[in-house]
Amino acid sequence: MNQQQSLEATYIGKFQLTQDNNSSIFNITISKSSEMIIIQVKKALLGNVAKITIEKSKPISVFPKPDYKYRNLLNELNSDKYFSFINGCLELQKVDNKIAEIINNNLNIACKFEDNFKSILIQSRDGYLVQGKLKKYED
């Protein structure tokens, strides 16, 4: 994010990644501006595990670079569509009382407002399940 772009909001939360009988807990920070969303994934004792940047009309960027299997998945994702979805999810309010969903051949993502949190569920075709909750960070 450059100096000209200012953050509008930051959200923090915990997510659980499950595949087969294995699961792992991650801390997530999502920072957004009007043109960019940055998702930072952190794991206790390991620090930053991944940084995903979604900008309008640009390819989704992931650091460190994903392996071949996930690089193909990322290339299939429409950054404008996911930017709008994540932005809409973060803006959901209790009064909206709805579930936002995005479904394609590889991923199903659902988001809803629940108990003052944004509840998110991601299921992949290859058996990964990610679920967790986000809350707006207030200084």
Convert the pLDDT of each residue in 76-131 to its tens digit.
Answer: 677 888 888 888 888 877 666 677 788 877 788 899 888 888 899 888 888 889 99
For the chain, what is the HEC assignment? Answer: CCCCCCCCEEEEEEEEEEECCEEEEEEEEEEECCCEEEEEEEECCCEEEEEEEEECCCCCEEECCCCHHHHHHHHHCCHHHHHHHHHHHHHCCHHHCCEEEEECCCEEEEEEEECCEEEEEEEECCCCEEEEEEEECCC
How far, in Å, CA of 121 to CA of 110, rounded?
5
Is the pLDDT confidence value at 3 over 50? Answer: no
For residues 21-45, average pLDDT: 90
Q: Could you name the CATH architecture of 9-136?
A: Beta Barrel (2.40)
Query: How many residues does this entry show for the chain?
Result: 139
The pTM of the whole model exceeds 0.75: yes
Q: How does the average pLDDT of the chain come out, rounded?
A: 83
The model's confidence at residue 133, banded by pLDDT at 50, 70 and 90, is very high
Is the pLDDT confidence value at 65 over 80? Answer: no
- Domain positions in the chain: 9-136
